[in-house]
Amino acid sequence: MGRQNVIVGTAGHIDHGKSALVERLTGVHPDRFKEEQERGITLDLGFAALEIDETTISFVDVPGHEKLIRNMIAGATGIDIILFAVDATEGIKPQTIEHADILSVLNIETLIVVLTKADKVSEALLNRRLSEAREFFNRFTYPYKRFLTVSIYEQHSIDNLKKTLYECSGLISSRYTSHDFLMRIDRSFSVKGAGTVVTGSCITGQIKTGDDIEILPAGIQTKVKNIQVHSKNSLSASAGDRAALNVTGVDKNNVHRGDIAAAPKVFSPAASFYARLKTFSSISKKDVIKHNKSYRFLIGTYAGEAKIILLGKKSLNAGESALCKIVPDKSYTPLFGEAFFLRSLSPQITVAGGKVLSITNFGLAKNNLLTLLSCMENGKAEEAFKVLETNIEGTFDIPTLIQFTDKKSDEIKHLIKKYFISAGRTVTPRKYFSKITDMAKEEIYSGKTLSLSGYHKYFKNSENIWKIFRENLIRLAEKNGYTYENEKIFKKRKSEHEKLADEIYEKMSQDVSLSNAANLSSFLNISEKAAANALTILANKGKVKKLDEKNFIRTDIFDNFIQLAVKTAKKEQYIDLKKAKTIIKAPRKILIPLIEQLDKTGLFTNKDNKRYLKGDETAEF
């Protein structure tokens, strides 16, 4: 299987044996506070780890009673497998139902349902409870489900559970180790002599001692001094690890549960974001979601309040869904597809769950935004890019990949290149770029002097995109004979010498014998000096090619002759002066140096004034 880290989240009703089960598996009791030990319940997140071969299985043991449901949601952040405890003596209970509803939103693929305290019931009741559990949990669409009966006092059942956990670990999809580092913070405390420590689940990437990180949303810049993974010192931590980071120069009071520790200048906190929201089918009529109303809001390790702005609906009844805008009371740094939950403020019950679709509206009008969100929700990345390209004018930033989409990096890079001009994460639609370029070209070709500064306003939000536009326009203008000086583009008046050069160039296309200063002087009734100067101007522009000390030929005519000479040599084995006459009607003074130019191409070999294509020299012998 190879080295891997797997996070298992436990869930279930209060006193259904989750913490005891984790302690039996790992030897570590997840309860961390004295109050918890005395009361026998887990008040906050508890963590322990089990090593099997090269697999580290981290257990996130979360509370089961209603008042602390927010910790259960926090514990679900980043988990791979759900270990759901159901007490065989009690069966399905209210918190079983609520936990199951919540976890069904979290994109977790593997569910292991464990009937605990199997030693305390008869075989008949155990079988009945197992049947009830199967019927209840089969309502949810987990790709992988396992059902076990366990007693913490029976070693064979514990061994069977360990085996099942190890087998299910092999089903886990690869983590986002190639992305930039991000860790959801669930605790912040101070250690005497060491300083501030933040703990949490590593969601993406890798961090090493000595690396710079930032704490978001505050934007606090700091450095990682020491790392612990699963309570052991380590030089690094990766996606899937439970980690503690000892950071420098940060007051623990400035770091809060719900913040993130991340690679600097990568992730974007959002004051609001857009999502698909769905109410749970079990809620009552009085718990319907209402437009523009605030609810208790839970996402990752963050818990607060958020205003819900429904898009296109006034309310959501049980089992209904809608696209919406979430406005939390504090900026958050969501990932694409990240799950969140809403709880009514009074009474406090979990009423709905949802998934993040976009951390920005990109400035789109409502109907276009709805189309974009629908594309993002249904995995239609290219259609989403088309919406952005068609409806946005100007520049905008595309969020870092895992805040923007769940598609592969190569696919998104290809689509960005196809639909946008980009500079880093800042882009402008190709359609818009072309529109502004055409405006500028029309102004230039009309004979006006174009001031480049007048076009800066179209790309004012990105100096890098403006630089690309500016350089592209200058290059295009100069290619078409325009002049760029002092941030202006204009058609420079040609000198008399340049006008004469243009006239000679046209005459040389009509008669290749007009090839030197002497015959041009006679033909046009100008001085040889003027003709020679014109030929020099044309040669410097690459419009004519010098054949010998006196004669020139237009470059396009010369290139065409070379191509035809190659075809002739292939067909008739060689080319000589006689065959050259069939290609171009020209006097000997032109044909002879033309034939000699073939030797300089590297394509021909000269034998007895016959030019053979290299490799075909012996064809006639």
What percent of the chain is modeled with pLDDT above 70?
Answer: 91
Domain boundary among 262, 288, 314: 262
Residue 544 falls inside a structural domain? no
Mind listing the pLDDT tens digit for each residue in 45-68?
Answer: 445 677 787 787 878 765 543 444
Residues 91 and 144 in one domain: yes
Angle of helix 18-26 versus helix 155-169 axis, rounded to 10: 90
Summarised one tens digit per residue, pLDDT across range 557-582 is: 999 999 999 999 999 999 999 999 99
Supply the mean pLDDT for the chain.
87
Q: Do residues 350 and 439 share a domain? A: no
Based on its alpha-carbon atoms, the radius of gyration of the chain, rounded to whole angstroms, reads 37
Judgement on whether residues 258 and 279 belong to the same structural domain of the protein: no
Task: Kindly state the average pLDDT of the residues 217-231.
Answer: 91
Tokens for 144, please give them. Answer: 């992988």
Extract the tokens encoding 474. Answer: 């200058």
Task: Give the pLDDT of residue 487.
Answer: 92
The mean per-residue pLDDT over the stretch 469-488 comes to: 91
> Of 449, 474, 490, which closes a domain?
490
Going from the C-alpha of 44 to that of each of 72, 259, 340, 393, the distances in angstroms are 8, 17, 19, 48
Tell me what pLDDT residue 61 has: 61
pLDDT of residue 319: 87
In a domain, 500, yes or no: no
- Whether the pLDDT of residue 1 is over 60: the answer is no
Per residue in 247-285, pLDDT (tens digit) is 999 999 999 999 999 999 999 999 999 999 999 887 888
pLDDT for residue 62? 53
CA proximity to 264, closest of 247, 243, 251: 247
pLDDT at 147: 96
46 and 148 inside one domain? yes
pLDDT digits (tens, 9 = 90+) for 383-418: 999 999 999 999 999 999 999 998 989 999 999 999
Q: Is residue 602 part of a domain?
A: yes
Q: Please answer whether residues 213 and 263 qualify as being in contact, where contact means their C-beta atoms are separated by less than 8 angstroms.
A: yes
Q: Is pLDDT of 495 > 90?
A: no
333 & 421 share domain: no
- Cα 344 from chain centroid (whole Å): 34
pLDDT digits (tens, 9 = 90+) for 4-13: 678 888 888 8
pLDDT value for 527: 95
Boundaries of domain holding 324? 273-359
Q: Are 51 and 165 in contact (CB under 8 A)?
A: no
Residues 20 and 149 in one domain: yes
> What pLDDT does residue 66 have?
41
The length of the chain, given as a count of residues: 621
Report how far residue 90's alpha carbon sits from residue 16's, in angstroms, rounded to the nearest whole number.
8
Q: What pLDDT sits at residue 478?
A: 86
Matching residue, tokens 């199997």: 118
Rounded to whole angstroms, the Cα distance separating 573 from 568 reads 8
What's the pTM value of the predicted model, to 2 decimals?
0.68
The answer to whether residues 195 and 151 belong to one domain is no
The verdict on residue 188 lying in a domain is: yes
Q: What is the pLDDT of residue 160?
A: 94
Q: Mean pLDDT throughout 117-140?
A: 93
Asked if 197 and 238 sit in the same domain, the reply is: yes
Which is higher by pLDDT, 366 or 20?
A: 366
Lowest-pLDDT choice from 174-183, 251-260, 600-609: 174-183
Residue 369 inside a domain? The answer is: no
Q: What is the pLDDT of residue 64?
A: 42
Sequence-distant (≥ 6) Cβ neighbours of residue 89 within 8 angstroms = 117, 120, 121
Please state the rounded mean pLDDT for residues 340-344: 88
Q: Kindly state whether residue 587 falls inside one of the protein's structural domains.
A: yes
Domain CATH for 191 = 2.40.30.10
**Residues with Cβ < 8 Å from 69, sequence gap 6 or more?**
63, 98, 102, 298, 343, 348, 350
For 206, list phi and psi in degrees, rounded to 5: -145, 145
CATH code at 58?
A: 3.40.50.300
Contact 124, 109 (CB under 8 A): no
* Measured distance CA(175)–CA(195) in Å, rounded: 31
The verdict on residue 34 lying in a domain is yes
Torsion of CA 207, 208, 210, 212, to 10 degrees: -10
Of the given ranges (21-35, 109-123, 318-332), which has the lowest mean pLDDT? 21-35
Q: Roughly how many angstroms between the first and final C-alpha of the chain, as a whole number?
A: 68
65-117 per-position pLDDT tens digit: 344 455 545 544 567 888 999 999 999 987 788 778 877 877 788 999 999 99
Q: Same domain for 280 and 321?
A: yes
CATH code, domain carrying 599: 1.10.10.10
DSSP string, 127-170: HHHHHHHHHHHTTS--SEEEEEE--TT-HHHHHHHHHHHHHHHT
pLDDT digits (tens, 9 = 90+) for 526-553: 999 999 999 999 999 899 999 999 999 9
From CA 409, how far away is CA 419, in angstroms rounded? 16
Q: Is 406 helix (H, G, I), strand (E, B) or coil?
A: coil
Q: Which two tokens stand for residue 342?
A: 């809403």
**Other C-beta atoms lying within 10 Å of the C-beta of residue 206:** 17
Per residue in 289-314, pLDDT (tens digit) is 999 999 999 898 888 999 999 998 99
Domain annotation covers residue 499:
no
Nearest of 80, 76, 130 to residue 98 by alpha carbon? 76
Q: Which domain-ending residue is among 465, 490, 515? A: 490
Q: What is the pLDDT of residue 19?
A: 81
Q: Which of 28-31's residues contact partners 24+ apart within 8 Å by CB, and which partners? A: 30/59, 30/61
Domain count, the chain: 5
> Is 247 found in the same domain as 138?
no
Same domain, 209 and 283: no
pLDDT tens-digit map of 198-208: 998 888 899 99
What is the per-residue pLDDT for 364?
A: 96
- Are residues 32 and 166 located together in one domain of the fold? yes
Give DSSP secondary structure letters for 165-185: HHHHHTTPPPPBTTSPPEEEE
Residue-level pLDDT at 173 = 63
What whole-number distance in Å separates Cα of residue 405 and Cα of residue 415?
12
